[in-house]
Amino acid sequence: MPPTNLPISRFCRANSTRRQFLKNSAATISGLALSSCGWRLADVQSTDKALLDRFAEKTGIRVVADVLDSTETMLARLKVGVPQVYSIIYPSDYMVMQMKKLGMLTQLDRSIVGGLDRLKKRFQNPVYDPGNRYSVPFSWGTTGLIYNSEQFKEPPEDWSYLWKRKQELARRMTLLNDVREVMGATLRMLGYSLNSTSQQQVKKAYEKLEELKSAIASFTTDAWRSQMLTGELKVAMCYSSDANEVIANNPKFRYIVPKSGSALWTDTLVIPNGAPNPDAAYKWINFILQADVAASLVQRLGFATPLEDAFYLLTPKVRKNKILFPAEATLENCEGVAPLGKFADVYDRYWTKLTSI
């Protein structure tokens, strides 16, 4: 069979370093990696080569991976006819909605895909793709705050903590370099939807962020890691998979999902229209949906699986990890980032003003 290309441009609107699943480790062989959402090529190159070898041994298909710098770059490639190169792509939840609207995705043959009935209920009928007609959820997580517990007598519980402790945290905190995440978190703090399409509400969120701007060290999706480790920062907005990776080796750090609510993200597998090898694509999807395969990825790479049976194959320690698997009450207070159509220009306009002053 011909090689199957599996590009994974992980999410993050304009900051794709958040999550990547596949990454080239050599010219002719692929390795698995998580980016700033938790996976690192150097950490997992050998083990994930073994995973790909296992797939090749089982199916006779060699996987070749491309990693793009953003979900938007991936979309641009598909728009100019590159889908004929790729048999599987890994868009984030909000991009599934956009690509579906543009007619770029193949409707999945449910008679071929095995395992959708084993998804946790939350992922069986997602708002971004009702009934999972075009996508299969692969991993998920939350957005929150990581902080150094040794530097706080009173730990943060909500986004409002950043404003209340503005002087103490001045130039010692970072927010994500992501308009929808940052504006969304502020909207939640103010009691609005993360996906608000109210001009007035978005303006209030911008004005609130403007109050905090002078105390923010930077807007960054990845650089906070080293700065937290060296003590330059006290708190950073980040993704749960990132936090889980950092905290695993540094128990002084803690991660919380703010009580007023935050973002719940999902990464998916989809087959683009014009895929050169749809048979191989279905084989990869079914391989990843095997409970033992999914569980092994969680154990090694530290992200949450949406598969119910895979969850119960995890060690008790991982199952009890509240960074990866928050309480249901916490998740009920989170929202997925949804596309806003032309109203996205309003967010972008305020974001440009915020980050340029």
Q: Cβ–Cβ contacts within 10 Å for residue 309, how many?
A: 16
Distance CA 174, CA 223 (A): 9
In this structure, which long-range contacts are made by residues 226-233, counting pairs with CB atoms below 8 Å and at least 24 apart in sequence? 227/174, 228/146, 228/148, 228/253, 231/148, 232/172, 233/148, 233/172, 233/173, 233/174
> And the tokens for 72?
């938007």
Distance from the first to the final alpha carbon of the chain: 54
- Report the DSSP pairing between strands 173-175 and 235-239: parallel
Q: Do 143-263+334-356 and 4-140+265-326 fall under one CATH topology?
A: yes
- Residue 261: the pLDDT is 96
Convert 189-218 to b/e letters by CB count within 10 Å (16 or more is b): beebebbbeeeebbebbbebbeebeebbbe
- Residue 84: the pLDDT is 65
- Residue 224: the pLDDT is 95
What's the CATH class of domain 4-140+265-326? alpha beta
Phi, psi of 67 (to 5 degrees): -115, 125
Residue 148 CB-half CA count within 13 A: 17
- When the candidates are 3.30.70.260, 2.60.120.330, 3.10.180.10, 3.40.190.10, the CATH number that belongs to 143-263+334-356 is 3.40.190.10
Convert 243-263 to b/e letters by CB count within 10 Å (16 or more is b): bbbbbeeeeebbbbbbbbbbb
Consecutive 10-residue averages of pLDDT for the chain (357 residues) = 38 32 26 26 44 84 70 73 73 88 93 93 90 94 96 93 96 94 97 97 98 96 92 95 91 96 93 88 93 91 92 96 95 90 94 90
Q: Where are the domains positioned within the chain?
A: 4-140+265-326, 143-263+334-356
- Residue 67: the pLDDT is 65
